[in-house]
């Protein structure tokens, strides 16, 4: 059986997130930089991830929707970052709660409009 084409994308995304964690996170807590950012901004860690995801989605919308050629960060880099932010959010929610993700998001949405 042939390897699924998405496997290469996930492998590349994982290598990127692993390298960034080595650069930015504490050795024993891969979420430490996001927790710090949440404290600075006065929001939850989940909201930090949602903001970062939103920025990546907006950037892709500008580049793809307006047929722009990126000068600094490629569409591929933006997509990889987005994949990683979604994955990190999922991992963070799993770490913090055993509740269904929908319940957690509904609570966040109710608290912050």
Distance CA 33, CA 1 (A): 40
Number of domains in the chain: 1
Has residue 9 got a pLDDT over 60?
Answer: yes
Does 8 or 101 have the greater pLDDT score?
8
Structural domain boundaries enclosing 52: 5-112
- Any idea which residue has 């807590």 for tokens? 29
Q: Which DSSP category does 30 fall into?
A: T
Distance CA 31, CA 70 (A): 29
Neighbours of 44 (CB within 10 A): 19
For the record, the structure tokens of 57 come out as 């989605």
Mean pLDDT of the chain: 86
CA angle 39, 41, 43 (to 5 degrees): 75
pTM score above 0.85: no
């Amino acid at each position: 059986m042939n390897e699924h084409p998405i496997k290469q994308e996930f492998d590349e995304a994982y290598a990127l997130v692993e390298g960034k964690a080595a650069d930015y996170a504490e050795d024993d807590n891969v979420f430490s930089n996001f927790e710090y950012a949440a404290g600075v901004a006065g929001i939850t860690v989940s909201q930090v991830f949602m903001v970062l995801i939103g920025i990546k989605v907006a950037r892709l919308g500008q580049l793809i929707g307006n047929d722009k050629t990126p000068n600094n960060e490629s569409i591929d880099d933006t997509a990889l970052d987005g994949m990683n932010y979604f994955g990190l959010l999922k991992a963070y929610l799993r770490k913090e709660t055993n509740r269904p993700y929908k319940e957690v998001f509904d609570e966040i949405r109710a608290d912050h409009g």
